[in-house]
Amino acid sequence: MDTNRYQVGLDIYIEAEDSLTLSKLERAATMAGASEVTVEGNELTARFASGLMLWTVDKPGDRRLCAEDTKGLAFSVGRLCHLRIKGPTVGETCPFGEIEQLAKSIAQVCPSSFVISFQFEQTLYWRDRSGLHCREEPTR
């Protein structure tokens, strides 16, 4: 039985202002450890060691922030990116660690406000005027 076709994928989105250009996103992905980054026209794709994939998504027309928990941010979305975690990780790498590094790298290369959310439902990282923030882990 081929178990690969039954692997669950997790979808994470980056919604950012226009100032996060493709060249800045390319630089941030490289800084965060992406092994392959490709820019063709208005599209960027990147692959990370864990198997995490990043790609830009056109969002014609509606530029409203889709994340349910906006953390008080209100901006016009100029760059929408899709992160996909699918299947088991490769070796010792962790896709969530790579996402954290990507958030830090975007904050370093660009002053853009942004929100990184799990399926638009749960905000993981956000950047506002006071800097980069991470969702607090619940105490057990």
Share the mean pLDDT of the chain: 89
Which positions ≥6 away from 41 have C-beta within 8 Å?
none
The predicted structure's pLDDT at residue 59: 66
Architecture of domain 9-132: 2-Layer Sandwich (3.30)
Note the pLDDT of residue 2. 46
Confidence at residue 65, expressed as pLDDT on a 0 to 100 scale: 93
The pTM is what? Answer: 0.88
Taking only the tens place, the pLDDT of each residue in 24-82 is: 999 999 999 999 999 998 899 999 999 999 999 776 677 899 999 999 999 999 999 99
Task: Kindly list the strands in the beta sheet with 131-134, ordered across the sheet, starting from the edge strand earlier in the chain.
Answer: 36-40, 43-47, 53-57, 79-86, 9-16, 114-118, 122-128, 131-134
DSSP state, 20? S
Calpha distance 77→126 (Å, rounded) = 13
**DSSP secondary structure of 95-122:** HHHHHHHHHHHHHHH----EEEEETTTE
pLDDT digits 0-9 by tens, 44-53: 999 999 999 9
